[in-house]
Chain A
Amino acid sequence: MKLKGWKEVTPGCVITEAGSAVQFKTGSWRSLKPVFIEENCIQCLFCWLYCPDMAIKVKDGKRAEFDYDYCKGCGICAVECPGKKGNKAIIMVEEGK
């Protein structure tokens, strides 16, 4: 992306475009990565509800994959996940392992 010069920036750093955060991929900030274990998922969608970065996708009303372009690895989803019979459907693993 070509960076703007000083004559092109908006007065007072105001962002005039809605939803522009989508252009800023934050996935590289992650040191811990959530991993989805589908057989332990009860489709409660707590993870989708709690994710602060809209990085959990839902397709046809069902839990889909993580959006790793934006997931910062905060781990809230893994904490909130009730799992099935004591087994979490989301676990955090170290990046690069």
Chain B
Amino acid sequence: MAKVVAVTGNEAVANALRQVNPDVCAVYPITPQTEMMQRFASFISNDLVKTEIILVESEHSSLSACVGASAAGGRVITATSSQGLALMFEILFIASGTRLPIVMPVVNRALSAPINIHGDHSDAMSARDAGWIQLWSENGQEAYDNAIQAFRIAEHMDVRLPVMICMDGFIVSHSIERLEYLEDEEVKNFVGEFKQLNPLLDIEHPVSYGPLILTDYYMEFRKAQDEVNTKVPQIVLDVAEDFAKMSGRKYGLFETYRLDDAEIGLVILNSAAGTSKDVIDEFRDKGIKAGLLKPRLYRPFPYREVGEALKHLKAVCVLDRADAFGSSFGPVYLDIATSLYPYKEKPVLINKIYGLGGRDYLPGHAETVLNELVEIAGTGIPGSLKEYIGVRE
């Protein structure tokens, strides 16, 4: 039986990690993730979980320790935010290139400078091409559910890749919401026993990790890694199906909201999707066919499926809570544009940058954007392709 609780997003994910009971957790505190690992550390102190915690001197060290522990043959976790993720950058690629199934909640926070502790997506977006699987979460329930599914995806023998579970800093991490916990036993059975692949501690079968791979083999390893990524979406769906059987909660590669017959639509990640759905309902009440697509599996990005879901619309706005400086558009916009490019008939696509550094995303913002889309759908002509919204002139 599910247990209904009122908890913060951080507490929910800390509980998911407790229920999974990993072997090793190497971690360094950083706002807004700190509360999650503080709670997890208290579970260890109270003997509610058997995980060995390694307190390190930086995030570069925390992920390095995770790489070592994972190669040794353990089920391994860490967690971070913002500058911490940035400091891990070098090791992110080592974890994915070495195919180590490390699971890491990322509590999304703006990057410096200027320094800011609040929720935006510039941290995880900067790491989107680091070879990690990324699952994004609208609220505490999704973060909890994604955290549990992440282990099955990462540890699948056809995958063996690290996974980030992304959730908005403060908006989700520190807000108390009603959500449902699964039973400890259910989670334990769902994730199953950790299966090792080439563990360093198996002294009967000695292996070497991290060899120098030069011109004669580097491309073969990269091609193999790319190929693994193509298998991930189906495995994410299979795991989601098993999860739905246990929990009753359904997940896909992305969520669509009133999108099937829509003429205009929003594409938006994480917590702001909730606000947008309310405004879409208001537009529907007025007889305007509006819909929404919220990516969940953002890396590897399911281009084909997303393109199929959006191609029939007349006008779409991609809202990015991060800018990709120098590429002219926000990161999600670039992926959606790529998804739609192969189609002859496709929606006009515009980009809005919103909510940076935790700036509130209000229903009025969604309303303004949807009104603009109504106009574009009518004329077929966009105004500006990219704009910041909710910013003072």
Using a CB–CB cutoff of 8 Å, the interface residues on chain A facing chain B are 3-7, 9-16, 18, 20
The CA-CA distance from A14 to B220 in the complex, in Å, is 13
Besides A6-B220, A12-B98, 17 new A-B residue pairs in contact (Cβ under 8 A), listed by A number: A3-B216, A5-B220, A6-B227, A7-B224, A9-B217, A9-B224, A11-B224, A11-B228, A12-B97, A12-B209, A13-B211, A14-B198, A14-B207, A15-B207, A16-B207, A18-B206, A20-B208
The CA-CA distance from A13 to B148 in the complex, in Å, is 28
Tell whether A15 pairs with B205 under 8 Å between CB atoms, given A3-B217, A4-B220, A5-B220. no
The closest CB in chain A to the CB of B227 belongs to A6
The closest CB in chain A to the CB of B160 belongs to A11
Q: Which residues of A contact B392 (CB under 8 A)?
A: none
Q: Which residues of B contact A15 (CB under 8 A)?
A: 207-208, 211
Interface size on B, residues (CB 8 A): 24
| Overall SS of chain A's interface | loop
Q: Which residues of A contact B198 (CB under 8 A)?
A: 10-12, 14, 16
Q: Are A14 and B208 in contact (CB under 8 A)?
A: yes
Q: Chain A nearest CB: distance from B310 CB in Å?
A: 32
Using a CB–CB cutoff of 8 Å, the interface residues on chain B facing chain A are 97-100, 160, 197-198, 205-211, 213, 216-217, 219-221, 223-224, 227-228
The closest CB in chain B to the CB of A5 belongs to B220
The CA-CA distance from A13 to B216 in the complex, in Å, is 13
The CA-CA distance from A15 to B213 in the complex, in Å, is 11
Q: Are B97 and A13 in contact (CB under 8 A)?
A: yes
Q: Which residues of B contact A10 (CB under 8 A)?
A: 198
Q: Which residues of A contact B209 (CB under 8 A)?
A: 12-14
Q: Chain B nearest CB: distance from A75 CB in Å?
A: 23
Ranked nearest first, the 8 interchain pairs of A and B with the lowest CB-CB distance are A12-B99, A6-B223, A15-B208, A6-B220, A12-B98, A18-B206, A11-B99, A14-B198
Listed A/B pairs (23) with beta-carbon separation below 8 Å: A3-B216, A3-B217, A4-B217, A4-B220, A5-B220, A7-B224, A9-B217, A11-B160, A11-B198, A11-B224, A12-B97, A12-B98, A12-B160, A13-B97, A13-B98, A13-B210, A13-B211, A14-B198, A14-B209, A15-B208, A15-B211, A16-B207, A20-B208
Q: Which single member of A3, A13, A20 contacts B221 (CB below 8 Å)?
A: A13
The CA-CA distance from A34 to B289 in the complex, in Å, is 82
Q: Which residues of A contact B205 (CB under 8 A)?
A: 16
Q: Which residues of B contact A7 (CB under 8 A)?
A: 224
Q: Which residues of A contact B224 (CB under 8 A)?
A: 6-7, 9, 11
Q: Which residues of B contact A14 (CB under 8 A)?
A: 98, 198, 207-209
The CA-CA distance from A75 to B211 in the complex, in Å, is 25
Q: Which residues of B contact A12 (CB under 8 A)?
A: 97-100, 160, 198, 209
The closest CB in chain B to the CB of A4 belongs to B220
The closest CB in chain B to the CB of A11 belongs to B99
Q: Which residues of B contact A5 (CB under 8 A)?
A: 220
